[in-house]
Amino acid sequence: MGNVEAVTAPDWVSLDQLFTRVLHSEDDALRAAREAADTAGMPAIEVSAQHAKLLSLLVKMSGSRRVLEIGTLAGYSTIALARAVGSGGAVVSLEYEPAHAEVARRSLERAEVADRVEIVVGAALDSLPGLQQRGDVFDFVFIDADKENNVAYVEWAVTLGHPGTVIVVDNIARNGRVVDPQPGDEQAHAIRAMFDMIGSHPRLEAAAIQTVGAKGWDGFAVALVS
Ligand code: SAH
Ligand code: DHB
Ligand code: MG
């Protein structure tokens, strides 16, 4: 405990940067995806380089070949997922904003994974029934869009999954706001409701991991469908 006081917020960022440098976590294509988002005036809310790498490793460790992502933004996490499924795999990524999808498509081309990624533009809850109708089944689902719909997204992930499907949900701490959601904080309420739902779901077991790093205090949950 003696060194705790020496650890301040900027050090989380520095240590994240060190990990990224030493572990070679971010190559030119990922960097370009981040910069393209910035140039296009999009918010810098993509996953960190370390989080992207962990997503990639989870996809590989689970042997997942068919990945669903909800929330593309500029395609940063999409590139990590698409690389992990390999050339025979496929990623479907759902994005509400056409302009985000356009920037993402160019970044996916630059990363040479565009051939294995389908971006579906529209509100995810409108797109998901179409995926079910055409018979899509997913081994891995990354939920990272409007937090207000997280309960529905987790339900859809189970519906479109199978025993063994891995679900990762981003942004489960939001600087701690989820502990005691304030009136009007719909995001925090929705994340809290999602945990109640996962906790009582007969086919889900999960862990929620808080993180500090380049993105401040947040975290992600990992769930396994049985
Ligand atoms: N996964 C990305 C970040 C996603 S940010 C990454 O880590 O690189 C969240 C994205 O979800 C934004 O692009 C936003 O436009 C999109 N979004 C918000 N509401 C949505 C909805 N209802 N359906 C689909 N996408 C939505
Ligand atoms: C926000 C959304 C995210 O997906 C994220 O990782 C960080 C922030 C946001 O909407 O503020
Ligand atoms: Mg996120």
Is 89 a residue whose pLDDT tops 80? yes
> pLDDT band at residue 215, thresholds of 50, 70 and 90?
confident
Around ion ligand 3, residues with a beta carbon closer than 5 Å are 144, 170-171
**Which of 194, 94, 93 has the alpha carbon at shortest distance from 152?**
194
Q: What was the pLDDT predicted at 108?
A: 98
* Alpha-carbon span 165 to 121, nearest angstrom: 24
- Ligand 2 atom with minimal separation from the 144 CA: 4
- What local confidence, expressed as pLDDT, does residue 217 receive? 93
Atom of ligand 1 nearest to the CA of 52: 7
Ligand nearest to the CA of 146: 1
Give the pLDDT confidence score for residue 11 in this predicted structure: 87
Quick one: the chain helix, strand, coil %, rounded to 5? Answer: 50, 20, 35
> Is residue 107 very low, low, confident or very high in pLDDT (cuts 50, 70, 90)?
very high
Percent of the chain with pLDDT over 90: 93
CA-proximal residue: ligand 1, atom 17 (nearest): 145
Alpha carbons 155 and 96: distance in angstroms, whole number: 19
pTM to 2 decimals?
Answer: 0.96
Over residues 206-219, the mean pLDDT reads 93
Q: Is the pLDDT of residue 2 over 80?
A: no
Task: Report the percentage of the chain scoring pLDDT > 70.
Answer: 96
The distance in angstroms from the start CA to the end CA of the chain is: 39
Q: Tens of pLDDT along 26-84?
A: 999 999 999 999 999 999 999 999 999 999 999 999 999 999 999 999 999 999 999 99
What's the rounded mean pLDDT across residues 86-104?
98
Q: Nearest CA to 165 among 58, 7, 79, 32?
A: 58
Out of 170, 171, 186, give the residue to mutate to test ligand 2, the one with the largest number of ligand atoms within 8 Å of its CB. 171
* CA 113 – CA 103 distance, rounded (Å): 14
Task: Give residue-wise pLDDT tens across range 177-192.
Answer: 999 999 999 999 999 9
Ligand closest to the CA atom of residue 70: 1
Of 69, 144, 186, 215, which is best to mutate to test ligand 1, by the most ligand atoms within 8 angstroms of its C-beta?
144
Q: Is residue 8 over pLDDT 60?
A: no
Nearest CA to ligand 2 atom 4: 144
